[in-house]
Amino acid sequence: MAIPDYSAKDLAVFSTIIARAACLRKWSTELGHAGAGSAIEEVQCMQFRDSLYIAGNKGEHVKIADFLQAFGVSNHASFMNCLKYSHWLLSIPFVTRTAVTGRSYPGKFSDQEDITLTYGAASLGHIPALTLNEIDQARDLIVATVLPVAGPLRILAWFLKKFTEAAALPGLNRPPAAAFHYTTEYNGVFGINVLNDSTTVHAELKLLRMLEYAHTKNLMPLKTRRVRVGGLKKTCAFCAAWINRFQPWMLTAYEVRIDLPAEDTRGVADGAGNRPTNVGEAGFGPYVRELFNGAVNSNCADVVGPYDNPE
């Protein structure tokens, strides 16, 4: 089934929910192992045709993958369900959590995350609220002392218990890895993909590097025309400078338009990171070689001259 045409602002909201939920627990451990996971600096999503690609800074993709696997994400529908339950659990006021879910548990959106959720409030319409029946079922699974029937219900029970730090239940184990795809490059097959990239390049530039590689290496039968990228934070100043030089070149060379979140009122984050590399840049002129030189990023004043094609 085709993935809906999401805006960059929609993707920023999705990234925000993933960022908070993925660091909330140690998703690679079994029930009974309490405590929060390590912080996640950034999550960015890119819609690339009928696929979503998700990236983090440095090695954060591992925690993102652990979280998605814990829910059993394997396609777009299960991905949206994961966001639905995560947003619900994070949004319940502390004073009513026991009444609603049967447990009091730690975890809420940070101030930075609330800024993005407010900025992209209309995008939450893509994430439906739980029905009364779903809420009742979720509460029953959270407090369950009898092992649920094998299948999707058991996977959901594990996820909900882990999210709320419920005690271990004999026989209720972490689900096996789901069928979402770990990838280093565009594949054109899987709907939900986590970019396997541990470099010090910032998340959005990792995604755009993948976009560039897919076009320069002719990995697609048709041109993409338009991609959208949105994340937890507004692009930092140095990444924005890089993207401002990358966008017109991609449009000129491949007729690809790159959309970032519109009318972005969020503050600009600090940070540099490195420029991406390894896209076959040696076969291009100086403009592209500088964009993809792998050096510590800057205001990109060194990226000058005409947009160039392969030499």
Could you report the per-residue pLDDT of 164-192, keeping only the tens digit for each?
Answer: 999 999 999 998 877 778 899 998 888 99
pLDDT (average), residues 49-59: 93
- In sequence order, what are the beta bridge partners of 56? 43
CA 85 to each of CA 51, 91, 113, 125, 142: distance values in angstroms, whole numbers, following the listed order: 21, 10, 17, 14, 12
pLDDT at 1: 58
For residue 311, pLDDT over 60 is answered with: no
Q: Taking a C-beta distance cutoff of 8 angstroms, is the pair 38, 158 a contact?
A: no
Rounded CA-CA distance 73/297 in Å is 34
- Buried b or exposed e, range 171-196, using 16+ CB within 10 angstroms: ebebbeebebbebebbeeebbbbbbb
Chain mean pLDDT for the chain: 92
Q: Taking a C-beta distance cutoff of 8 angstroms, is the pair 286, 307 a contact?
A: no
- Range from 96-100, 143-147, 150-154, 175-179 carrying the lowest mean pLDDT: 175-179
φ/ψ of 237, rounded to 5, equals -60, -40
Considering the entire predicted model, what is its pTM?
0.95
Kind of pairing, strands 181-183 and 192-195? parallel
Rounded CA-CA distance 235/261 in Å is 10
pLDDT bucket at 310, cuts 50 / 70 / 90: very low
Q: Taking a C-beta distance cutoff of 8 angstroms, is the pair 310, 284 a contact?
A: yes
- Range from 47-56, 72-81, 116-125, 213-222 carrying the lowest mean pLDDT: 213-222
